[in-house]
Structure 1
């Protein structure tokens, strides 16, 4: 006898064949295809079987069921499930074509449209692509410098002056993201991301590079891995490197955006400041849902631990964030985001002789149009505000950033 998985697959294929034969016979004896309705009990049974095969990871059988239904019924829901079945079976070209056809429907609810765009981003990553972006940015506090004018160091009150170069500045930010599948089923994908922020003068120019390998095990769809390294250059000098490894767990691969958990390990190596070198561990849970088909809500919660070479710079932290994506008008939408995080350092600060505690609040909005393209680029603009409060006033600061971006 074969294994339960093989027997189940054979049984499902046989059942799909029987259902297809029944559908053909019913089509010749009953009303035309164009008059069939998704509420028909027979088709509801077929649809339920297709969904069950998805959850059993019998994707070929699910594809057969949904293809048969899509040929019989004019239903976007069925097309969506067929596109998702192709995606899970790693037939990315078929999946992409179907998702793009679905997006062409102007009546598609906003929340569903946002989810489809997320699938298309994953498909582009798996198939391999190069994406560019260019943005005009302004930064009200490029050095994240405190607004406090007096601080206490070693028991003495000292007056500090704002560095003259730390004033509102603006410039251009360039970005390139590339992916390349190394296997036919895209179970191993290379990725690279490069960004360059060119602000006025050379004092605040920053390069950031991130590259590595993403792993998508074919035999266990609930896991996804990533191994990479991030490098940063600031004002022409190498700032840090950070190799990392992460594993993401999806409890339900069919509803991969609904809930996931990521564990990440990293080592921060800071040039010329060895006391800041640190091993870090971060655990993040993410969730998303669609409310009333008209908005998408995303949320995350994280805890973190960083063990620096010197204990005063080690910390433990936690935070929460949420984004609500809403339609504005026609094909325009807005993302409203809020986040709050806290960090507690583990020993007295060597300059201020007490343990540091920081609380950071972030607020932002981003207006975008993913269907309007100019020379292949889509526009977006937004404003982000950050406030960091600390029991040591020297570490308190505010900043506001404006971005006008075009990306393909």
Structure 2
């Protein structure tokens, strides 16, 4: 029902789309055009009536006769409802490749392609070049207060701008025919000159649909990282994923993680952690696409000085420019993390305020050996009541994604 409702919403939005207006063969008589249109409307009515099989029976010969991209799109939707994902994906991608396709239609098609990926599974790779102006997240301050005394801070010699290569992979695979149980994994490896800042990140696990609640999945996984060949942290967790049914173009997603964080090099930071995130995507408006996210976090360590609670608010704006054939994505977020006790080393209670701003550029029509290029810049800043933990950094990235 959720998927069928999404189909109806998209069909209604596209009926007035001029670029996908009915096309007929050259030299066609006016009465033939009326016949084609009548047959097309019969197929649309079949979709509205919840009969995708009849819609396919109408759209397939109509597409062979007219080659209309609008018929092709509706046929792709009908095949999707019949779970003929291979043919559906092929037709969706053929429509998506059209140079004059309105961006709102393209965004709706990408939603379907994502749903097909979730139904059939996927593995996607990316490779790119990344830079970091402050790889150690070292303080910007040159004087800090420790034990009531002002001390001069000397930055580490190796904390300089670095540029390296990043390889990433992510995947998702249903493990049974009804897609009740799925496996997921993500991993990335960053390689920098000298090896000091080489980093490996990974997250993998299983998710299981909750009986009677198709929008909810329970999950269990393991997250970890290694830096310069040494384990940075381990985080086994359990949690839940929620994807509420789309309504009037809105889409709400949520995720919960609860687990035990282990920091091998600094065991005083070991803690029981809770992390909650919610994301809301809005229907396109004014030629833009908007989304918001909110996070809550809680960490309970052995000492109050290293236990904290916090949260953040963020949002993104996507502007697809037909003139430049480019998608601009602007993201911004601000958050606060408050610690429970006095830091024994600095003699004061820590509170961090964090800011992140990023801009990414993507050309949807451009492919390099089947990979899609994307460039971006990100600025991060943390202001802390303990100057030693205040820092800022600028990062650049260029990546090719499958």
Measured in 2, the distance between the counterparts of 1:312 and 1:37 equals: 71
Offset from partner CA, 1:141-190 (integer Å, 9 cap, x none)? 00000010111111111111111110111111111223333212333222
Q: Does 1:347 align with 2:341?
A: yes
Q: Distance in 1 between matches of 2:55 and 2:282?
A: 24
- TM-score, structure 2 as length reference: 0.81
Residue 36 (structure 1) aligned to one of 29, 35, 38: 38
2:376 counterpart residue number: 382
Q: Distance in 1 between matches of 2:74 and 2:170?
A: 29
* 1:251 aligned partner: 244
1:204 to 179, 197, 216: 197
Contact persistence 1:323–1:336 (CA under 8 A): yes
Aligned to 1:318: 311
Alignment of 1:306 onto 2:296: no
The equivalent position to 1:283 in structure 2, one of 262, 276, 294, is 276
Rounded to whole Å, the distance in 1 between the matches of 2:307 and 2:71 is 52
Mapped partners of 1:76, 1:359: distance in 2: 50
Q: Is the 8 A contact 2:240 2:257 kept in 1?
A: yes
Name the counterpart of 2:351. 357
Equivalence for 2:5: none
How big is the alpha-carbon RMSD for the aligned residues of Structure 1 and Structure 2?
Answer: 3.1
- Say which SS state the counterpart of residue 116 (structure 2) adopts: helix
Query: Superposition pairs for residues 28-67 of structure 1, below 5 Å?
Result: 32-36=34-38, 48-50=48-50, 61=51, 63-64=52-53, 67=56
CA distance in 2, matches of 1:78, 1:395: 58
Q: In 2, Cα distance between the equivalents of 1:260 and 1:312?
A: 33
**What is the rounded CA distance, in whole Å, between the counterparts of 2:76 and 2:269 in structure 1?**
47
Describe the SS at the equivalent of 2:155: coil
For the residues of structure 1 that align with 2:341 and 2:205, how far apart are their CA atoms?
Answer: 35
Partner of 2:208: 215
Provide the residue aligned with 1:334 in structure 2: 328
For residues 9-408 of structure 1, what are the structure 2 equivalents within 5 Å? 32-36=34-38, 48-50=48-50, 61=51, 63-64=52-53, 67=56, 70=59, 91-216=84-209, 220-252=213-245, 258-292=251-285, 294-328=287-321, 329-408=323-402
Structure-2 change in CA distance of 1:89 and 1:302 (3 Å)? farther
Q: In structure 2, how many angstroms separate the alpha carbons of the residues matched to 1:33 and 1:224?
A: 47
**Residues 89 and 242 from structure 1, CA distance in 2 versus in 1: closer, same or farther, beyond 3 angstroms?**
farther
Q: Encode CA deviations 1:79-104: one digit per residue, 9 max, x unaligned.
A: 76775676577553344234323313
CA distance 1:96–1:147, shift in 2 (3 Å): same
Secondary structure at the residue paired with 1:36?
helix
Aligned to 2:283, the other structure's residue is in SS state strand
Matched position secondary structure for 1:312: helix
Deviation digits for residues 9-66 of structure 1 (CA, Å, limit 9, x no counterpart): xxxxxxxxxxxxxxxxxxxx9984423398x7x888666544xxxxxxxxxx4x3465
Match of 1:55 in 2: none
Post-superposition CA distance 1:318-346 (Å, at most 9, x none):
11111111113353211111111111111
State how far apart, in whole Å, the 1-side matches of 2:220 and 2:165 are: 30
- 1-structure distance, mates of 2:43, 2:88: 22
1:350–1:216 distance in 2 versus 1, CA, 3 Å:
same
Match of residue 25 from structure 2: none
Deviation at 1:297, TM superposition (A): 1.2
Equivalents in 2 of 1:37, 1:64: separation in Å?
A: 15
**Relative to structure 1, is the Cα distance of residues 162 and 105 closer, same or farther in structure 2, using a 3 angstrom cutoff?**
same
Matched residues in 1 for 2:282 and 2:360: separation?
A: 19
Aligned residue pairs: how many?
Answer: 368
Give SS of 1:275's match: helix
Which range is displaced more, 302-311 or 339-348? 302-311
Q: SS of 1:222's equivalent? A: strand
Which deviates the most, 215-224 or 191-200? Answer: 215-224
After TM superposition, give the deviation of residue 289 of structure 1 in Å.
2.0
Contact 2:246 2:252 in 1 (8 A): no
